[in-house]
Chains A and B, each alone.
Chain A
């Protein structure tokens, strides 16, 4: 290794990447950029590993996550956000998640009780068990899962997915007590538990507080969904109304359709813009035939002839209220009647905490906890999930469970609770001039069942991506926070090459005459890295720096063992290569030993890399880009520059310039396999000629 490269290898492992908006938005701070990138490369099993390292129950999230990451995704500023949840589902299914076995060993004697088995409880049990504690889950219902089991309809989360995750917990040695309602925390401590995590959820439906709410045929959403999910088949009649604008109202309405209701309405007192439900869920409900009556709410219910006469009033939107949404104001004299067989109220839920727990209860019947330690007013008693926050998302609950496990560990080990160190965040906004030059690419969604098929039963409605679509979708990722930086400021000659070559016009000269590469705009293509004459620029993520020297060493040590000559080295786009599988056809009947060095983009291949491949014994080198799939227009231009430079040098040292070739995979008009076969043949001939010449000489 050259002496002056010493500092490069010293800093090789230094990760200077910034936290992208998706990761910030995720309550679990999952490494989304990382696994999306791995999927784009077709490395699905590695993607699954990354997913599992950041999420105890990724299969569940892959179905039901409300994906705040997608809302924060900066691709949304360009065209549409990356379909992160669907990609996770793809990685789960194609990466073999079902075969993964979890193991845990007991290293501590302190027993921990988890009261409630919703996502927060399951996550806490999972992480406590991983930490080595004996854990017992107490669940009042007959099966684990909490809201995952009794709240979320089966068409959104197949129960077998949940069962597999629960099964893993059992494998890990978590003790499970179903049908066991905890009535006293003192009893738990008497039983020898040293810490208790209360995560009983928010299952109590809020009441409308109107006349006739007690009538038969009126049911709250949480109870209704619980009955359906526990296998009862409540009869809803032919016409059903759900009151509310959240996910529970949507779930209840869609479930009623699946139970045979012909006419299902949602009554919501604001407009679609204010609906807290997931827009995709709203869209799907409408597709299935649910009708949403906006600016309407019931004020009185009367039961006549076994049907419900619901008196409603119309609203208009007024000034914003405390929640920031416009306050609905009733319009005097706009009352009207509607008739239904069943009315489902879904205007919110609250926890119900037994008084015997002796816990301090705060706003909305939730348990009050210390926000850092999650400790309640009782020593050793922690709480989290919906019971603390009020109704929230699965991912938030999982995050609460993970935090609780950490806090309980710190409590039991007498450690001071420290906040976790996190990477600095990247700015959220892309500049209009950056957006303008980013190549637009449509979001690819996995297919869904047709609406008429969906309402026949409780089958999951979303199908899985096919391989190609998943890879293409993942490639849309802008790689936020992984961009280029000037690592060696002392070497920078301020030559302005980076400013001139950047396809996104990101580097600029600041008022002091220093070149700046703003991390929040950089698209991490790596062209400036390869063009910097002082070799002062690196990509922030060590993996992207791809120490090609090391890769080459690896390639050649493998090739040496095989002994097959001539040796051809290909620098290939890491996305066009394994991701698309195009190059897999190359090895068939190949007349040479072909070794591939995957690179972030072929525009990052430097002339030195190509020369080094020759130096190490390659007879031919090709550079294979991903063609039409490339995120940039000028990749070919840069590849051409580098290839020509090497050809010139080869010519000067008496080698045939055609030993270096550039071509693209996935271009319709040229067949890369054909091109490579020609190239291989050419190199084989050159090699044979050289061998013959050598023999004639001797």
Chain B
């Protein structure tokens, strides 16, 4: 799941300053789950912005709020077309994808990001989120016992651990576990320690062309199909 955190109020206030009517747009999927931009956060931000405005005595902004099920699909954007037409800007509490889909869908309306999209991760305990995947496009988890060294090793090395590991912790951040020690322990548990003894050649990150695209359909050849 995509994890994000809401931007500081000051930053949001600065962003929306030029616009009178602002729609705060929540997202009902990842942003709801990670507590950055669901129905509840939208209404909290709405209240906070109104209150902040009331304290300064200015009445520049008019806010409205709405939460769609998912901002990363244009069909959901179509549902708020009327609302979008009435505002000067959309403050999207969707992840970076949601913001861009909204921007593409509403070419004449500025779309502003209300959250900082952080990473792809999981909840490790109530209110604590941890990164798990870097979306590198070349998954090696089969060799590393289901623990990703690209994401979870600070250095992202493929042949670990490095000399900086002490008592299972990382030299760069002494509070986090050394990914390679975790990999070692799990491989030992699975009886696959031979995977540690192999050498993994460096990966060529230049082979990842950005922006990436996935095509999952075969382009239909009309003539062949009609045959």
Q: When the two chains form their complex, are residues A533 and B33 in contact, meaning their CB atoms are under 8 A apart?
A: yes
Interchain CA distance A536-B10 in the complex, whole Å: 29
In the assembled complex, the Cα of A535 lies from the Cα of B39 at a distance in Å of 6
Q: Is the CB of B33 within 8 A of A495?
A: yes
CB <8 Å contact, A534 and B38: yes
| Contact of A606 with B by CB under 8 A | yes
A534 to B30, CA, bound (A): 11
Q: Collect the chain B residues with CB atoms within 8 Å of residue A532's CB.
A: 40
Highest count of chain B CB atoms <10 Å: which of A497, A500, A533: A533
Select from chain A the residue with minimum beta-carbon distance to B67. Answer: A4
Q: Is the CB of A607 within 8 A of B44?
A: yes
A654: B residues at CB distance < 8 A: 55
Q: Which of A3, A501, A611, A654 has the most CB of B within 10 A?
A: A611
A615 at the interface (CB under 8 A from B): yes
> Residues 9-50 of chain B: 1 if any A CB is under 8 Å from the residue's CB, otherwise 0?
110000000000000000011001101001111111011101
When the two chains form their complex, are residues A615 and B39 in contact, meaning their CB atoms are under 8 A apart? no
Cβ contacts under 8 Å, A500 to chain B: 126
Contact A608/B43 with A500-B126, A534-B28, A534-B38 known, Cβ cut-off 8 Å: yes
**B24 and chain A: residue at smallest CB distance:** A2
- Would you call B209 an interface residue if the criterion is a C-beta within 8 Å of the partner chain's C-beta atoms? no
- The 8 A CB mask of B65-93 against A (1 = contact, 0 = none) is 11101000000000000010000000000
Q: Report the contact-size class of chain B (Cβ under 8 Å from the partner).
A: 20 to 34
Q: Which residues of B contact A491 (CB under 8 A)?
A: 28, 39, 67
| Chain A residues with CB below 8 A from B51, complex form | 611, 614-615, 653
- Taking a contact as CB atoms under 8 Å apart, the answer to whether B39 and A4 are in contact is yes
Q: Which of B29, B55, B126 contacts A501 (CB 8 A)?
A: B126
Q: Which A residues between 527 and 556 are near B, CB-CB below 8 angstroms?
A: 532-536
B65 near A3 with CB under 8 A, answer yes
- The one of A493, A612, A653 in contact with B52, judged by C-beta atoms closer than 8 angstroms, is A653
Contact of B44 among A493, A611, A655 (CB under 8 A): A611
Nearest B residue to A655 via CB reads B55
> Which residues between 82 and 124 of chain B lie within 8 Å of chain A, taking CB atoms?
83
The reply to whether A652 and B65 form a contact with Cβ atoms under 8 Å apart is: no
| Contact status of A4 and B65, CB under 8 A, knowing A614-B51, A615-B47 | yes
Q: A653-B9, A653-B48, A654-B55 are in contact. Are A2 and B28 (CB under 8 A)?
A: no
- Give complex CA distance A649, B8 in Å: 9
- Assess the A653–B40 pair: CB atoms within 8 A: no
B28 — which chain A residues lie within 8 A by C-beta?
491, 493, 534
B10, A652: Cβ atoms closer than 8 Å: yes
CB closest residue in chain B, given A530: B40
Whether the pair A649, B55 counts as a contact (CB closer than 8 A) is no
A243 to chain B, nearest CB (A): 65
Whether A534 pairs with B39 at a CB distance below 8 angstroms is yes
Please indicate the chain B residues that have their CB under 8 angstroms from the CB of A3 in the complex. 64-66, 83
- B38 CB contact (under 8 Å) in A533, A614, A649, A652: A533
Hey, what's the 0/1 contact readout for B125-156 against A, CB within 8 Å counting as 1?
01000000000000000000000000000000
Categorize the interface residue count of chain A. 20 to 34
Partner of B40, one of A534, A612, A655: A534
> What's the least CB distance linking B129 to chain A, in Å?
12
In the complex, the answer to whether A649 meets B48 with C-beta atoms within 8 Å is yes
A500-B126, A611-B51 known; A495 and B40 CB under 8 Å?
A: no
Is B54 located at the chain interface by the 8 A CB criterion?
Answer: yes
| Docked CA distance A74–B40 (Å) | 34
User: Once the chains are docked, how many angstroms separate the CA of A467 from the CA of B47?
Assistant: 40
Residue on A nearest B83 in the bound complex, by CB = A3
1/0 per residue, CB under 8 A from B, across A119-146: the answer is 0000000000000000000000000000
The contact string, 1 if C-beta is below 8 Å from chain B, for chain A 611-622, is 110110000000
Q: In the assembled complex, how far is the CB of residue B145 from the closest CB belonging to chain A, in whole angstroms?
A: 26
| Cα distance, A606 to B52, chains bound together (Å) | 18
Contact residue among A533, A612, A614 (Cβ-Cβ distance under 8 Å from B39): A533
Residue pair B43, A2 in contact (C-beta under 8 Å): yes
Selected contact of A533 from candidates B40, B66, B126, CB within 8 Å: B40
Residues A493 and B33 in contact in the complex (CB < 8 Å), given A3-B64, A533-B39 = yes
Known A4-B65, A501-B126, A608-B44: A534·B32 in contact at CB below 8 Å: yes
Chain A residue with the shortest CB-CB distance to B51:
A615
> With the chains together, A495 CA to B54 CA distance in Å?
34
Task: Point out the residues of chain B lying under 8 angstroms from A608, CB to CB.
Answer: 40, 43-44, 47
CB distance from A265 to the nearest CB of B (A): 64
A3-B64, A653-B55 known; A535-B40 Cβ under 8 A: yes
A533 x B47 contact (CB < 8 A): no
A3 to B42: give the CA distance in the assembly, Å: 12
Q: Which chain A residues border B43 with CB–CB below 8 Å?
A: 2, 4-5, 535, 608
Asked whether, in the complex, the Cβ of A652 is within 8 Å of the Cβ of B54, the reply is: no
**A residues less than 8 Å from B66 (CB atoms):** 3-4
A606 (CB) vs chain B CBs: closest residue: B40
Q: Chain A 455-498 against B: per-residue CB contact (8 Å), 1 yes, 0 no? A: 00000000000000000000000000000000000110111010
Interface string of A489-513 (1 = CB under 8 A from B): 0110111010011000000000000
Write 17 A-B pairs (CB below 8 A) sorted by A numbering. A2-B46, A3-B83, A490-B69, A491-B28, A491-B39, A495-B32, A497-B35, A533-B32, A533-B40, A534-B40, A535-B39, A608-B44, A645-B44, A652-B8, A652-B48, A653-B51, A654-B55
Which 10 interchain pairs have the tightest Cβ spacing?
A: A495-B33, A533-B38, A652-B9, A653-B52, A611-B47, A493-B32, A615-B51, A535-B39, A533-B32, A649-B48
B: residues with CB less than 8 A from A are: 8-10, 28-29, 32-33, 35, 38-44, 46-48, 50-52, 54-55, 64-67, 69, 83, 126
19 more A-B residue pairs beyond the given contacts A497-B35, A649-B44, A652-B9, with a C-beta to C-beta distance below 8 A: A2-B64, A3-B64, A5-B43, A491-B28, A493-B28, A493-B29, A493-B33, A533-B32, A533-B33, A533-B40, A534-B38, A535-B43, A606-B40, A611-B44, A611-B47, A614-B51, A652-B52, A653-B9, A653-B52
